[in-house]
Amino acid sequence: MSKRYVKSDKTYKKPSEYDEAKIAAAMKRLKSKRKVPTSVALDPDLVEAIKKAAEERGVPYQVLLRMFIIEGFKSWQKSA
């Protein structure tokens, strides 16, 4: 099964024009929100299962892991 990302979908239409001012403003806003790289040791079988699940959903596995962590942490905060 090949990877299916949104931009590889034939129905995806790229914007044909870019507003440089909007791009610069977005970059400035997001610069302070950069993610901090971390490292977590996981069982190789779990990593493969996560990669397979991510491929089925058409997202990179790191994005799926980030979603799991964020959702789990929010759930944990609500229950604490």
Q: State residue 62's pLDDT score.
A: 92
For position 27, what pLDDT does the model report?
77
Give the list of residues 6+ apart from residue 42 with CB closer than 8 angstroms, or none: 50
Q: Please give the pLDDT value at position 3.
A: 64
Residues 26-78: tens digit of each pLDDT: 777 777 677 888 999 999 999 999 999 999 998 899 989 999 999 999 999 99
Q: State the pTM of this model.
A: 0.57
Count of positions (residues) in the chain: 80
Q: Collapsing DSSP states into helix, strand and coil, what is residue 9?
A: coil
- Position 6 pLDDT exceeds 70: no
Instruction: Please determine, for residue 17, whether its predicted confidence score (pLDDT) is greater than 90.
Output: no
Using CA atoms, how far apart are residues 3 and 44, in angstroms rounded to an integer? 20
- First and final CA of the chain: distance in angstroms? 41
List the domain boundaries for the chain.
36-80
